[in-house]
Amino acid sequence: KLAIIIVFIIIDLGCDGGNFTQRLLNYGEVVGLDISSNFIRSGKRRVKTAHFIISDVQKLPLRHASFDLVTCMEVLEHLPRPDLVVSESSRILRKSGRLLVSTPDDGKRLWRIIWFFWQNIGRGTIWQHKHIYNFGRQKIINLISPHFTKIVIDYVNFFLLFMIICERREK
């Protein structure tokens, strides 16, 4: 019998220190991308078999149609123009490529309470990576739907985070 092995080409946008990047190695070749050279150095130490790029996620230095999967885990809410990340993700995805996104659901009262305390008490008061954009369910759909179809939304972490998987829309 012949075993068929499918290897995906995956990019983890806003990879931080490579935690999620490392998990993706089970599914194919992985590239981690982040604007922080410190995070990229940390990722290279942690995940020896992945490739890493220092770049802004809002303007990717990558060829069109070069990835099967783009992941963007808890990144969009930190950016002034999350729409640019979504359109760039669509651009670098191959036909029928998928985008996997997670972001807090600002429509949930529990999330807003937790976030209020995080920002005003303890570590959150000195945290430099503040959320500058908030998403409710309809906002995230409106952001993604011009470039993606077959949008599936699920919730994780006690219904506080959206987990969205969608397919690149054919132009």
85, 94, 138 from 168: Cα distances, Å: 13, 8, 19
Domain ranges of the chain: 8-105+133-168
Q: How confident is the model at residue 36 (pLDDT cuts 50, 70, 90)?
A: very high
pLDDT of residue 57: 96
Close Cβ partners of 130 (under 8 Å, ≥ 6 residues apart): 78, 119
pLDDT tens string 64-75: 999 999 999 999
The class level of CATH for 8-105+133-168 reads alpha beta
pLDDT tens string 90-140: 999 999 999 999 998 776 676 666 666 666 776 655 555 677 878 888 999
Question: Which whole number is the average pLDDT over 47-70?
Answer: 97
pLDDT of residue 167: 95
